[in-house]
């Protein structure tokens, strides 16, 4: 099995090494990742300049750095390798829960895999106060991969690991509104600057990704790339459209 590894923290992040070490127990591994950090870049692609794909050294792994986004890395990585069976992204230094999935570069790499016809799994862990203890998380990442490889119908999956997991929970995405506030300040030159902050507004609902991680569980959320609102579409399809009524 060919496993392509990407991330958004950059190719020299400790998280990508931890993930590649676990992935190597399951198949042939190649790392293709951004040359610098691309966190919160979402699913951006580089369309106005060319990309480079340069051999680099990440431990013993076959590794390439790309001057682009996480999605770019998966696209060029799949092209250069002639395809892969599985794309893993992470392990991100920081959780990717709830509404953060719209901004996540880690998840975008997994989404790009699915858009290209492969499977994509994103891994993230808490990293607010100190660097994660990846050696302690690796057995849990391996357990999650064993579970997910037995479920080939799950094409796009988002996995979040608390620092000391007590087990696995299947979850849905928390969709509570967040506080997307702009914090204003001044730079050392006295110029106005702005920081976009993303803080959950309320407590997470039971059964969601955020709830699981807050209670010490590994959260595994099956996702899909189809954004269609099926409930609204069914309502609209059942009723005549307003333009027909006006005729």
Binding site for Mn ion (CB under 5 A): 8-9, 39, 92
Distance from C-alpha of 15 to C-alpha of 109, rounded to nearest angstrom: 15
> Which residues are registered as beta bridge partners of 197?
181
In the complex, minimum distance from the CB of residue 107 to Mn ion, in angstroms, rounded to a whole number: 10
By beta-carbon proximity to Mn ion, the closer residue of 39 and 219 is 39
In the complex, minimum distance from the CB of residue 246 to Mn ion, in angstroms, rounded to a whole number: 50
By beta-carbon proximity to Mn ion, the closer residue of 14 and 85 is 14
Whether 161 and 124 have beta carbons less than 8 Å apart is answered as: yes
| Cα radius of gyration (the chain) | 19
- H or E segment at 136? helix 134-149
Would you state the structure tokens that stand for residue 172, as one six-digit string? 């849905």
By beta-carbon proximity to Mn ion, the closer residue of 93 and 118 is 93
Distance from C-alpha of 113 to C-alpha of 202, rounded to nearest angstrom: 32
In the complex, minimum distance from the CB of residue 242 to Mn ion, in angstroms, rounded to a whole number: 44
Name the residue whose CB lies closest to Mn ion: 39
Would you state the structure tokens that stand for residue 140, as one six-digit string? 């849990």
By beta-carbon proximity to Mn ion, the closer residue of 130 and 192 is 130
In the complex, minimum distance from the CB of residue 244 to Mn ion, in angstroms, rounded to a whole number: 48
């Amino acid at each position: 099995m060919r496993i392509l590894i990407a991330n958004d923290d950059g190719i020299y992040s400790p998280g990508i090494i931890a993930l590649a070490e676990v992935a190597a127990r399951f198949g042939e591994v190649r790392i293709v990742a951004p040359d610098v950090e691309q966190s919160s870049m979402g699913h951006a692609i580089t369309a106005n300049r060319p990309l480079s794909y340069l051999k680099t050294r990440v431990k013993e792994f076959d590794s390439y750095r790309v001057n682009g986004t996480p999605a770019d890395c998966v696209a060029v990585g799949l092209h250069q390798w002639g395809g892969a069976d599985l794309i893993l992204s992470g392990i991100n230094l920081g959780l990717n829960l709830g509404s953060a999935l719209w901004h996540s570069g880690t998840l975008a790499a997994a989404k790009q895999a699915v858009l290209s016809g492969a499977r994509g799994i994103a891994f993230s862990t808490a990293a607010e106060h100190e660097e994660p203890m990846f050696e302690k998380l690796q057995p849990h990442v391996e357990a999650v991969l064993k579970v997910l490889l037995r479920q080939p119908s799950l094409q796009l999956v988002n996995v979040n690991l608390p620092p000391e997991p007590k087990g696995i929970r299947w979850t849905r995405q928390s969709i509570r509104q967040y506080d997307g506030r702009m914090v204003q300040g001044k730079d050392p030159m006295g110029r106005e600057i702005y920081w976009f902050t993303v803080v959950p507004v309320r407590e997470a609902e039971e059964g969601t990704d955020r709830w699981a991680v807050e209670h010490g569980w590994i959260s595994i959320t099956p996702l899909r790339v189809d954004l269609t609102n099926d409930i609204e579409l069914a309502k609209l399809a059942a009723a005549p459209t307003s333009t027909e009524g006006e005729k």
